[in-house]
Amino acid sequence: MFQQSTVRKFLLVAPLLLLGGSISALGQVQAAAVSGSGINFFSNFGGLRTHVIGYTYNALGIEGGIFVQRSPLFGVEVRGATYPFYARYSQSPVTAGFRTEVPGPRWNSITFSGYFGGGMSLAQSAGPHYTPTPAQWSPCWQVSQSLSISRGVWKWKPYEGTWTQTYTPERTLRGLSLTTGITYTFTRARRQVY
């Protein structure tokens, strides 16, 4: 009878101990995070590699956008880009989506961010004999990852890698861009410990 009562109490208390212990452990080891970073504008310059049928074509261009990061795991972003320089098939995606931004380990000035969004792209595809088709708006989506180094209200992005997939009537265009740029924050970030 005593053993049965002890086992029952243990089965009732064990889940509570696991839950309570894990919450306090997370609270003690989690680093400070950026919260409420305000409105941010960014501008980048770089290159885009677009795969069309059996070939890959390179182009140079610019991109820019605006984002608001309300918490490390949730922000919203609108971005646009155009890659017309040296382009056989020009691409100009405009997307909106969600982003994350987390501080780097032990360095308060370094942050890693990710973005996923969808929209439309003013894109050229390849017609017969690889002749460029007239540019038309086609659905697209993007995913990107970047590193930022903060210096007050300015941030330098040493790199941002973006994968873009555009669905033209002729075919699906897949592009990988690598850019570098700067970000300006209108309101300074507040440090908040969770």
Encode 4-20: b = buried (16+ Cβ within 10 Å), e = exposed. eeeeeeeeeeeeeeeee
24 and 9 both lie in a single domain: yes
Domain count along the chain: 2
Question: Position 134: which residue type?
Answer: P
Residues 102 and 164 in one domain: yes
Containing domain of residue 9, as a range? 1-30
On whether both 26 and 119 belong to a single domain, the answer is no
Tell me: do 3 and 37 sit in the same domain.
no
Total number of residues shown for the chain: 194
Kindly report whether the global pTM for this prediction surpasses the value 0.85.
Answer: no
Residue 173 confidence (pLDDT) = 92
Same domain, 12 and 86: no
The pLDDT tens digits of the residues spanning 113-135 come to 999 999 999 999 888 888 888 99
**20 plus 77 within the same structural domain:** no
Q: Are residues 62 and 19 part of one domain?
A: no
Tell whether 95 and 166 lie within a shared domain: yes
pLDDT range class, residue 65, cuts 50, 70, 90: very high
The answer to whether 119 and 110 are in contact (CB under 8 A) is: no
In terms of domains, do 135 and 69 share one?
yes
